Amino acid sequence: MTRMDPVYQTLKVMEQEQQPEFRQLGMDPRDFRTVLKHIHEAGYADASGLTPAGQEYIQAYERRHQSNPDVARRDLG
Q: Buried b vs exposed e over 1-32: b needs ≥16 C-beta within 10 Å?
A: eeebbbbbbbbbebeeeeebebeebebeeeeb
In this prediction, residue 70 carries a pLDDT of 63
In this prediction, residue 27 carries a pLDDT of 94
Q: How far apart are CA 56 and CA 4, in angstroms?
A: 17
Residue among 1, 3, 2, 5 at smallest CA distance from 57: 5
Residue 53: how many CB atoms within 10 A of its CB? 13
Q: For 12-56, what is each residue's pLDDT tens digit?
A: 999 998 899 999 999 999 999 999 999 999 999 998 899 999 999
